[in-house]
Amino acid sequence: MITLTLQIPEETAAVFYDAAEEINHELGNPQPKVDAKALMAFALARSESRELCAQFDLAMRIITGQAQAPMNPVLK
């Protein structure tokens, strides 16, 4: 297993924390409770490796200002 440490904007984290609270409320406060980190891991796990690579490629191209078209496996 790989442990990944990320910094995310507070506004983004708040969405996951609010969602976890709402899920726990709707499920009648299950034990163990659903937490925000589990929701974040679930969101990442649903993506295929090619999708994650394409998102990372696009982000890096935007940051570095490259003029090349970004990799987009969905359009291939």
Q: What is the pLDDT of residue 52?
A: 78
**Residue 25 domain flag:** yes
Instruction: Identify the CA nearest to 71 among candidates 52, 46, 47.
Output: 52
The parent domain of residue 39 ranges over 10-45
Statement to judge: residues 56 and 38 lie in one domain: no
Statement to judge: residues 39 and 52 lie in one domain: no
Statement to judge: residues 38 and 52 lie in one domain: no
Statement to judge: residues 14 and 41 lie in one domain: yes
Q: What is the pLDDT of residue 68?
A: 63
Whether 35 contacts 20, CB under 8 Å? yes
- Does 38 or 5 have the greater pLDDT score? 38
**Between the CA atoms of 62, 43, 10 and 59, what dihedral angle is there, to the nearest 10 degrees?**
-10
- Count of domains in the chain? 2
- For residue range 16-58, list pLDDT tens digits in order: 999 999 999 999 989 999 999 999 888 878 778 888 777 777 7
Statement to judge: residues 41 and 53 lie in one domain: no
CA of 4: how far to CAs of 39, 58, 60, 64, 72, in Å? 14, 21, 19, 24, 25
Amino acid at residue number 22 = E
